[in-house]
Amino acid sequence: MAVDQRPRPVVLSIAGLDPSSGAGMTADLKVFAAHGLYGIGCVTALTVQSTQGVRRSEGVDAGLVRETLACLDEDFEIAGVKVGMLGTGAVAAAVAEWLEGWKRRVPAGALVVDPVLVSSSGHALLDEDGVAVLRKRLLPLATVVTPNLPELARLLGGEPQSMEQGARQLLEGIKAPTHQAVVVTGGHRKESETPDDYVLESGSAVGAWVRGEWVHTKATHGTGCAYASAMLCGLVAGQSVMEAAACAKTYVAEALRRAYPVGRGRGPMHHLFALAVRAG
């Protein structure tokens, strides 16, 4: 069998570390691998958590984040970046500073910002200073912003009337200098509705829905991280925002369907369901 040794795009995850690997950095790297991309990472925060929830989180030193990003940037041609949990305002500012430079040098580079604010178990994953940096400096740089419904409400300062209205208000409020999209993910919709995502691109009078179906499983920890990482993989592969949104939705649904039991709580989805290699 011929070995494929062609170079592949390198994608960077800037995220927190979840030692149970359902969410955060290690989960993002699995998603990148599942899409055939080489993933590198800059850890922003350490969390103490398992499938049973987050017990504690500590932002890493902002200087370490700055140095890590500079070090990776010297060595790799970074094709795209996903930003997840940032932890603190100091770390968020270090990330913003690096991203502003990267965006100037690589204007076509895809940037997906997942505004991670609170874990499903109720633990704050970004402090107030961090939320301010996210709003002012990070959201305007993003190619795509991927809030879920609670994150959208928090960013808007109140519940939107609808996903469409909330997406419009967020997009108009960000005032990004370049083309941008907001994708509101539907995993927190009512059980009586379907978990559809709403995609709104700047310059468009109306957005579009990506239809979903509920997958009944406990393995929902880290779905937001996986969705945003899969979205980045699509964009780096040259897909449009709509195509990447549809592929990311399909990937997450399949990874949820194929999940196998891990831990006693809300387990991880099966990020690597397409991998055939098995130990033993």
Q: Where do contacts with ligand PLP occur on this chain (CB under 6 A)?
A: 15-16, 18, 23-24, 47, 54, 84-85, 116, 119-120, 125, 221-222, 224-225
Cα distances (angstroms) measured from residue 168 to each of 28, 57, 116, 184, 216? 28, 32, 20, 10, 30
Q: For residue 261, what are its two tokens? A: 């039991």
Residue with smaller CB distance to ligand PLP, 119 or 169: 119
Tell me the closest approach of the beta carbon of residue 162 to ligand PLP, in angstroms. 23
Q: Which residue, 276, 211, 198, is CA-closest to 250?
A: 211
We find the least distance from the C-beta atom of residue 90 to ligand PLP, in angstroms, to be 17
Nearer Cβ to ligand PLP (15/93): 15
Q: For residues 193 and 212, what is the distance between their CA atoms, to the nearest angstrom? A: 10
Cβ proximity to ligand PLP: between 26 and 180 the closer is 26
What minimum distance in Å lies between the beta carbon of 118 and ligand PLP? Answer: 8
For the CB of residue 117, give the shortest distance to ligand PLP in the complex, in Å. 9
Q: Which is nearer to ligand PLP, 26 or 201 (CB)?
A: 26
Cβ neighbour number for residue 249 with a 10 Å cutoff: 23
Among candidates 57, 187, 54, which has minimal Cα distance to 122?
54
Minimal distance in Å, beta carbon 177 to ligand PLP?
A: 27
How far apart CA 40 and CA 61 sit, in angstroms, is 19
Q: Which is nearer to ligand PLP, 142 or 168 (CB)?
A: 142
Residue indicated by tokens 């502003």: 100
